[in-house]
Structure 1
Amino acid sequence: MDITDDDGVRTVTFDRPEVMNAFTTETAAQLADALADLDPDDHDAVVLTGEGPAFSAGGDVESMAEREESPEAAYERIGETFGRVVEEAMSSRVPIVAKVNGDAVGAGLAIAAVADFAYAVESATFSCAFVRVGLIPDTGGTFLLPELVGLRTAKRLAFTGEFFDAEEAAQLGLINEAVADDALDDAVDDLLDTLRARPTRTIGLAKRAIHRNLGKGWSDALDYENVVQSQAYETAEHEEGVAAFLDGREPEFE
């Protein structure tokens, strides 16, 4: 994961292009650390983006295939990695911008959702793909998606894992705007110029108030999400989903 600071903006680049920037628990922990280290005295914004043609393909399925752990261990691991990404993003006093340069799948979609702003290239494809490997949406997906796209649409995306384009993502409210592939830099730079001109501490206060007033406290929702996901990791559906992904075939769920 590449982290740079320039002119008040921290840029975090997911840099595993050989696997479409899929996240391991280690890279998720690195992202959480990068968000935890933000300070409104030093940063006006943070930009999350990907190296290569993808934003992020989500969780690394090969790592899932190698993992052997109890539900209790899975709960601890999720909370300390992907769960902590959400905690740091939701409580950060600095605005977070997702610069979605390509496909955003699974946790990649959820990270775009947890950002305060999200702009995507028109060629990007999105999917809440957790169900395809026998898992529930995590990284805040179970409570952020209904807030952004509405309850019924959130269920459709979570239950089907269907793929959809950036234009539909914008129409659903998942991202702010879909832009031409060669216009992404300009769109994000214009936003950053605006954020630099605004009082970052005031933005942080507004963000805290908005998140505090969501329908259900996100902290409780996140904890329950981690509990259920740790149970999903133990299911035959997850085992089949991972095996099918690695075999390059459609899963055969019972």
Structure 2
Amino acid sequence: MSETPSLHFSIEAGVATIRFNRPQVFNSVNKDVALALQQHLRECQQNPEVRAVLLTGTGKAFCAGQDLAEITGPDSPEVAEIVEKHYNPIVELIRALDKPVVAAVNGVAAGAGANLALACDVVVAKESASFIQAFSKIGLIPDSGGTYFLPRLIGMQRASALMLTGDKVSATEAVQMGMIYKAFSDEVFDSEVAKLVQKLAAMPTKGLAYTKQLLNGTFGNNLTQQLRAEADYQLRAGSTTDYKEGVSAFLEKRQPTFTGQ
């Protein structure tokens, strides 16, 4: 386990867990947290032992977004500089990562914290958690990919309303509108998250990566382009060891053992 005061990182049974650990400030992000998160995402990409990534928080919050104390002093960096150097690289690393990234939203996810969660491949939350596009409340615009992901997830009208008003969305409402995948009761949240990430870590990692890459490109392609991309990635998937194992297991009526190769 890699322990820093503000971000915990560990790898166990194929799952890399990255945990925000500033509960006293609702896991808000400062420079140290942002740069450490970038580094750990790079480690996840490079380490073949990692087959799924879990992003979550300690305490009552998932992540409250930017630590405003960092940008209000006399020598503080501009907000735009922080977005460019801290948040944009994180979002791009999550989307480029050749392994599934699960956001387990254990509490409030606000501002950039909400949008970092929405950048992940699968988002689940405690029923007591909530999502807030809080930027308008301090005169800023939604960043960290919010204006990209949210309209694609829930439609332009709802995304516009939530971003303009800054209204809070409960986890249950987020499921209903298609913002996130599932909400679990607080009592079973940890066990359900563990089952989910362990399931993904045991699946054909390259096939999942190819699926993720296809989804990354789908909104920029027309139908013909997407069909060609599917054919290309299917060729790659069919050349993997896991594909051969999956077919063999099906024919032999047994559970497959995938290695991620």
**Do they fold alike, i.e. is TM over 0.5?**
yes
Return the alpha-carbon distance in structure 2 between the equivalents of residues 120 and 177 of structure 1.
7
Match of 1:233 in 2: none
Segment of structure 1 superposing worse, 201-210 or 191-200? 191-200
Return the alpha-carbon distance in structure 2 between the equivalents of residues 166 and 74 of structure 1.
29
User: TM-score, normalization: structure 1?
Assistant: 0.79
| Pair 1:51 & 2:51 matched | no
Q: CA shift at 1:34, angstroms?
A: 1.2
Give the CA RMSD over aligned residues. Answer: 1.7
Return the alpha-carbon distance in structure 2 between the equivalents of residues 96 and 131 of structure 1.
28
Return the alpha-carbon distance in structure 1 between the equivalents of residues 116 and 38 of structure 2.
11
Match of 2:251 in 1: none
Q: CA shift at 1:74, angstroms?
A: 4.7
1:149 to 119, 135, 154: 154
| Pair 1:95 & 2:84 matched | no
Match of 2:16 in 1: 10
Letter in 2 for 1:141: G
DSSP 3-state at the match of 2:10: strand
2:72 to 65, 75, 80: 65
Note if contact 2:125-2:184 (Cα within 8 Å) is conserved in structure 1.
Answer: yes
Return the alpha-carbon distance in structure 2 between the equivalents of residues 75 and 210 of structure 1.
28
DSSP 3-state at the match of 1:48: strand
Larger-gyration structure (1/2): 2
Gaps of at least 5 residues in structure 2 are 1-6, 222-261
Return the alpha-carbon distance in structure 2 between the equivalents of residues 115 and 42 of structure 1.
20
Deviations 1:43-100 (A, max 9, x none): 1111011111111111112222226568xx6544322210000110111101100111
| Pair 1:28 & 2:34 matched | yes
Match of 2:118 in 1: 113
Gaps of at least 5 residues in structure 1 are 217-254
Match of 1:236 in 2: none
Identity %: 36
Return the alpha-carbon distance in structure 1 between the equivalents of residues 177 and 52 of structure 2.
25
- Greater relative contact order: 1 or 2 (C-alpha under 8 angstroms, separation 6 or more)? 1
1:122 to 124, 127, 136: 127
DSSP 3-state at the match of 1:198: coil
Note if contact 1:29-1:82 (Cα within 8 Å) is conserved in structure 2.
Answer: no
User: TM-score, normalization: structure 2?
Assistant: 0.77
Aligned length: 214
Note if contact 2:26-2:61 (Cα within 8 Å) is conserved in structure 1.
Answer: yes
Return the alpha-carbon distance in structure 2 between the equivalents of residues 173 and 64 of structure 1.
33
Return the alpha-carbon distance in structure 2 between the equivalents of residues 67 and 193 of structure 1.
46
